[in-house]
Chain A
């Protein structure tokens, strides 16, 4: 065991991944199995009763997924984590563990569009009611809190890029009202921002993006900060009340500062079922080993391209907090001094038609609806993801006709600039 405080790069390679106890395999094996043999009947009973550590069935836990969980928990500085099938599943299980029908949560208005859909529509079926707040105005979060509020939710760097949220200011409000503060850290990753150091209680990730980093696997993570004391808090019965599913066990008491992660696993994942495939866990784990290298290159490339575009005659504006003139630059310096991430938007003077032409003229940038790939990606929201909205709605959503979103990859920045130049010249 190491006797020094390990750094982030070391954790990215090693955390959770000792050689395999049975075979000595050094790379994490892909435990592609549904189930695990019990040592004996008593051992099986202990596992089902949450009385022993171990593996039962891969919907509840799997050794490959467990390495990913510990890896991300270590990188975020949390007490435990849970790997699930997607970022959406991570959010679903977090809210399922915190909310009862009729409850509310406050969410920042600037979020990934898929999350806005999930909160506005899918959650209505469960009686979970989202109340929207202004990402740029922490006091709007406090104003939205009612006795029914069970959680506050923001993205640290908000999709579609260019927005840095003042985590400490919102964390102070959450703490004052004793409400768990959930941060989606997908865009930043723990390499750029570590939300637990700024007062977050729970972190969620779409591992599909920069954690996996290679655009090959969907996955999600929930990380427990261990900072919110659920024990004895009647507002959170999944953690504070005896659970009939487990013979009256009180999860928040039995599992201490990682009780939230355990509750998400044994009540959420077990009963709702969005398990991560061990193969995807392996792919994401392999990606995480180079996370620090990739995120620095992503951010450095993004800054170079943002600077280039800001000076381009066909570009009307660029929204990237890494730029000195950007309205979020001071927050970026405070929360992510190493870089402001890979994703940003810019506006074309030529409007909608110029956006459509730019996307089709690019040769290296891939036209698709994802972010956080090694490859550079582009999308013109007005003609794709936001096509069904009116022009006014598009503008409100930050997807006006002239807007282009880029997710900058780790290629040579000169090649990316050349590609953008030729496509803009022709647009």
Chain B
């Protein structure tokens, strides 16, 4: 007789900040267009530079924030010193700083007018108090996740690297743009 074992990694789970449903993350990545990236780096070996480049390649308008680089350019985009210096609204604030620093950065984001729709804290960054404040103002919050990894997971790209995408599907992944090495989020569910 065969006995089924459940998989210990949740494929689908109720929404909390330990486990995000795929639809929640996909919804954010499909709706935001302008992303302020706090803690941008000009060092090409740093995750923040890699993620900025990847998001630009995927058509997002990424605005780098770094007081030390303010006024200069990074990957062809003007660098601002702080969130409030950006002269136009942003849809999402991505925080590439440590968990403690994520508190005041979230406060700055919540002082913007109009408010951003999403606060996203990078892999290993988590600040539950800041998340609670943002959610109280109606923002969506993601913590301890990387948008590049999540994009790769939901599109299917990350499977090329042997990573467990935790996605099963009998539908084709969707090619994005030219070539065969970019996949789209617009994949049938």
Are B5 and A7 closer than 8 Å at their CB atoms? yes
Chain A neighbourhood of B174, CB < 8 A: 21
Are B172 and A254 closer than 8 Å at their CB atoms? no
Kindly state the separation between the CA atoms of A194 and B8 in the bound complex, as whole angstroms: 10
- Cross-interface CB contact of B11 among A2, A40, A250, cutoff 8 Å: A2
Q: Whole-angstrom distance from the CB of B23 to the nearest CB of chain A?
A: 9
B31: CB under 8 A from chain A? no
Chain B neighbourhood of A78, CB < 8 A: 164
Interface residue tally on A, bucketed by range? 35 or more
Q: Whole-angstrom distance from the CB of A147 to the nearest CB of chain B?
A: 28
B44: CB under 8 A from chain A? yes
Give B40-72 as 1s and 0s: 1 = Cβ < 8 Å from A's Cβ atoms: 000111010010011001000000000000000
B111: CB under 8 A from chain A? no
Q: Whole-angstrom distance from the CB of B27 to the nearest CB of chain A?
A: 14
Are A36 and B168 closer than 8 Å at their CB atoms? no
- Cross-interface CB contact of A1 among B50, B168, B182, cutoff 8 Å: B168
- Cross-interface CB contact of B124 among A4, A15, A256, A265, cutoff 8 Å: A256
- Cross-interface CB contact of B47 among A74, A248, A253, cutoff 8 Å: A253
Are B160 and A66 closer than 8 Å at their CB atoms? yes
> Which of B83-91, B101-109, B131-139, B150-158 lies at the binding interface?
B150-158
Are A14 and B168 closer than 8 Å at their CB atoms? yes
B159: CB under 8 A from chain A? yes
Chain B neighbourhood of A338, CB < 8 A: 3
- A296 to chain B: closest residue by CB: B2
Q: Whole-angstrom distance from the CB of A422 to the nearest CB of chain B?
A: 31
Chain A neighbourhood of B163, CB < 8 A: 70, 73, 79-80, 258, 261
Kindly state the separation between the CA atoms of A14 and B11 in the bound complex, as whole angstroms: 14
- B13 to chain A: closest residue by CB: A5
Known interface pairs A5-B7, A8-B5, A9-B2; A246-B45 also in contact (CB < 8 Å): yes
Chain B neighbourhood of A293, CB < 8 A: 2
List CB contacts (< 8 Å) of B11-44 with chain A.
Answer: 11-12, 22, 43-44
Chain A neighbourhood of B164, CB < 8 A: 15, 70, 73-74, 78-81, 258
List CB contacts (< 8 Å) of B138-189 with chain A.
Answer: 146, 149, 152, 156-175, 177-183, 189
Kindly state the separation between the CA atoms of A196 and B168 in the bound complex, as whole angstroms: 21
Are A1 and B169 closer than 8 Å at their CB atoms? yes
- B144 to chain A: closest residue by CB: A256
Q: Whole-angstrom distance from the CB of A323 to the nearest CB of chain B?
A: 19
Known interface pairs A18-B170, A74-B7; A53-B161 also in contact (CB < 8 Å): yes
- Cross-interface CB contact of A80 among B156, B161, B180, cutoff 8 Å: B161
Kindly state the separation between the CA atoms of A194 and B173 in the bound complex, as whole angstroms: 30
List CB contacts (< 8 Å) of A237-282 with chain B.
Answer: 242, 246-250, 253-254, 256, 258, 261-262, 265
- B182 to chain A: closest residue by CB: A39
Are A3 and B12 closer than 8 Å at their CB atoms? yes
Chain B neighbourhood of A29, CB < 8 A: none
- Cross-interface CB contact of A6 among B1, B11, B53, B189, cutoff 8 Å: B11
Chain A neighbourhood of B50, CB < 8 A: 49-51, 254
Are B54 and A82 closer than 8 Å at their CB atoms? no
Kindly state the separation between the CA atoms of A69 and B159 in the bound complex, as whole angstroms: 9
Are B160 and A53 closer than 8 Å at their CB atoms? yes
- A51 to chain B: closest residue by CB: B50
- Cross-interface CB contact of A51 among B54, B178, B182, cutoff 8 Å: B54
- Cross-interface CB contact of A5 among B11, B146, B161, cutoff 8 Å: B11
Known interface pairs A1-B167, A2-B168, A5-B11; A61-B161 also in contact (CB < 8 Å): yes
Are B160 and A8 closer than 8 Å at their CB atoms? no
Are B157 and A18 closer than 8 Å at their CB atoms? no
Chain B neighbourhood of A40, CB < 8 A: 178-179
A55: CB under 8 A from chain B? yes
Kindly state the separation between the CA atoms of A418 and B135 in the bound complex, as whole angstroms: 70
Q: Whole-angstrom distance from the CB of A283 to the nearest CB of chain B?
A: 18
Are B168 and A6 closer than 8 Å at their CB atoms? yes
Kindly state the separation between the CA atoms of A14 and B178 in the bound complex, as whole angstroms: 28
Are A1 and B189 closer than 8 Å at their CB atoms? yes
- Cross-interface CB contact of A81 among B9, B146, B162, cutoff 8 Å: B162
Kindly state the separation between the CA atoms of A156 and B149 in the bound complex, as whole angstroms: 32
- Cross-interface CB contact of A77 among B7, B45, B123, cutoff 8 Å: B7
Kindly state the separation between the CA atoms of A46 and B22 in the bound complex, as whole angstroms: 26
List CB contacts (< 8 Å) of A44-63 with chain B.
Answer: 46-47, 49-55, 61, 63
A83: CB under 8 A from chain B? yes
- Cross-interface CB contact of A18 among B12, B158, B162, B171, cutoff 8 Å: B171
- B163 to chain A: closest residue by CB: A80
- B22 to chain A: closest residue by CB: A1
27 A-B pairs (CB sep. < 8 Å): A1-B168, A3-B12, A4-B12, A5-B7, A5-B11, A7-B4, A18-B172, A19-B171, A19-B172, A53-B157, A63-B160, A65-B162, A66-B162, A70-B165, A77-B8, A79-B163, A80-B162, A80-B164, A83-B162, A197-B8, A248-B45, A249-B45, A250-B45, A256-B146, A296-B1, A296-B2, A338-B3
Q: List 9 tightest A-B contacts by C-beta distance, closest first.
A: A69-B162, A39-B179, A7-B4, A73-B164, A248-B45, A53-B157, A54-B181, A249-B45, A21-B173
Q: Given contacts A70-B162, A261-B163, A265-B161, list 11 more A-B pairs with CB under 8 A.
A: A5-B12, A6-B7, A39-B179, A43-B179, A54-B160, A77-B8, A77-B9, A247-B44, A249-B45, A296-B2, A338-B3
- Residues of A bordering B, CB below 8 Å: 1-11, 14-16, 18-22, 24, 26, 36-40, 43, 46-47, 49-55, 61, 63, 65-67, 69-70, 73-74, 77-83, 194, 196-197, 242, 246-250, 253-254, 256, 258, 261-262, 265, 292-293, 296, 337-338
